């Protein structure tokens, strides 16, 4: 019987870190980690490939493009059942979401994982997370970009890191995760895409000049001018409640109108982890009338990455930007919310 083959791509992070003089530093390669899992090597054929070895706080948007290219190469192979990426947890959701948007319509799992405790430290969660990620990549009837962590399977574009030390680091913004890992894999989301022979689509065109600005009481509208002066071509404004901004003292309405008139889109998302930017209040409706794009129920970080990708397609108008941004490609926005806004 032919054993299933999985490619593990190393990016560094806590899972690969070793304590050195100035703190934990990524040191182990993905092949080093696999060497500590002899039982897995007896079940699956494992290949390893290194893209980088770094703390995930150092990863930049150009690194997302490089990683996406490598994943596209590997997931396109007929002899591969799935891909695993080992990555630091701090920006794992950014990288996973960026890859999800750049590498679409693949017929196999792309699985990101990491750990809260270094692999070689007693009590590490790295060993189990990596084994679970390999199980999903090899055996799961799944064809999505996911995060496997602490016995759960998360859709990457709908996930946030909410805890720094707890082993249960991540949470889904959807009502439930895609699946749970126990002796077998238990599925919670019947809409999850299943394996197929479809060939992946790769589109890495991105304009990374998009800023994520978190609104706070007393924020001076001129701050948005400084963002534009820094060369940003799009802004995600993470606003209050259902997408509300101040319209009296320190009103943002004039700046929103002025900046969007320059064909620089401003997308309004909600600081609330759960919810959508519904136009329920005057403070939200007037922002939309001034030219802001509704962020629906996007995770703010994913909205930033999606707008980078949309601007990379060089849309010819603000209307086209809005159309592409609000279109659901890989589950980044709840389809029911898309239908509601349309």
Q: Which residue pairs from 246-254 have beta carbons closer than 8 angstroms and sit at least 24 positions apart in sequence?
A: 246/217, 246/219, 246/283, 247/282, 247/283, 247/286, 247/287, 250/218, 250/219, 250/220, 250/221, 251/221, 252/215, 252/219, 252/221, 252/224, 252/287, 253/286, 253/287, 253/290, 254/221, 254/290
Q: pTM for this structure?
A: 0.95
| pLDDT > 90 in the chain, percent | 89
User: Cα–Cα distances in Å, from 334 out to 74, 280, 296, 328?
Assistant: 29, 19, 9, 8
Summarize the confidence of residues 255-273 as an average pLDDT: 96
Residue 342: pLDDT over 60: no
- Active-site amino acid positions: 14, 89-90, 161, 281
Say which CATH architecture domain 5-202 belongs to. 3-Layer(aba) Sandwich (3.40)
Domain with CATH 3.40.50.40 in the chain: 210-341
Pick the closest to residue 126 from 191, 36, 46 (CA basis).
36
Q: What CATH code is assigned to 210-341?
A: 3.40.50.40
Check whether 338 has a pLDDT greater than 90: no
pLDDT digits (tens, 9 = 90+) for 183-211: 899 999 998 999 999 999 999 999 999 99
Q: pLDDT tens, 283-293?
A: 999 999 999 99
The pLDDT tens digits for 11-21 are 999 999 998 98
Delimiting residues of CATH 3.40.50.1170 domain(s) in the chain: 5-202
pLDDT of residue 339: 54
pLDDT in tens, 39-52: 998 899 999 999 99
């Amino acid at each position: 019987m032919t054993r299933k083959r999985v490619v593990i791509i190393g990016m560094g992070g806590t899972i690969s870190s070793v304590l050195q003089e100035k703190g934990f530093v990524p040191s182990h390669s993905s092949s080093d980690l696999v060497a500590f899992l002899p039982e897995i090597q007896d079940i699956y054929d494992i290949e390893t490939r290194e893209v980088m070895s770094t703390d995930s706080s150092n990863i930049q948007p150009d690194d997302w493009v490089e990683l996406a290219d490598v994943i596209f190469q590997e997931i396109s192979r007929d002899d591969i059942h799935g891909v695993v990426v080992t990555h630091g947890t701090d920006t794992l959701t950014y990288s996973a979401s960026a890859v999800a948007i750049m590498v679409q319509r693949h017929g196999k799992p792309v699985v990101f994982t990491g750990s809260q405790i270094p692999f070689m430290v007693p009590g590490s969660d790295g060993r189990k997370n990596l084994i679970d990620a390999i199980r999903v990549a090899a055996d799961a009837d799944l064809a999505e970009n996911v995060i496997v962590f602490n016995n759960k399977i998360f859709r990457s574009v709908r996930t946030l890191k909410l805890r720094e030390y707890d082993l249960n680091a991540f949470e889904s913004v959807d009502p439930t995760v895609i699946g749970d890992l126990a002796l077998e894999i238990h599925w919670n989301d019947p809409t999850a895409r299943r394996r197929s022979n479809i060939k992946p689509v790769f589109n890495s065109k991105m304009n990374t000049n998009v800023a994520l600005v978190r609104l706070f009481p007393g924020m001076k509208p001129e701050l948005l001018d400084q963002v534009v002066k820094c060369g940003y071509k799009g802004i995600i404004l993470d606003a209050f409640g259902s997408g509300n901004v101040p319209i009296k003292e320190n009103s943002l309405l004039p700046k929103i109108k002025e900046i969007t008139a320059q064909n620089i889109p401003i997308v309004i998302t909600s600081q609330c982890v759960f919810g959508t930017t519904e136009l329920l209040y005057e403070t939200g409706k007037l922002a939309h009338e001034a030219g802001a794009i509704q962020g629906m129920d996007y995770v703010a970080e994913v909205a930033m990455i999606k707008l980078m990708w949309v601007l990379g397609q060089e849309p010819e108008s603000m209307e086209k930007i809005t159309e592409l941004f609000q279109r659901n490609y890989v589950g980044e926005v709840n389809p029911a919310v898309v239908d509601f806004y349309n």
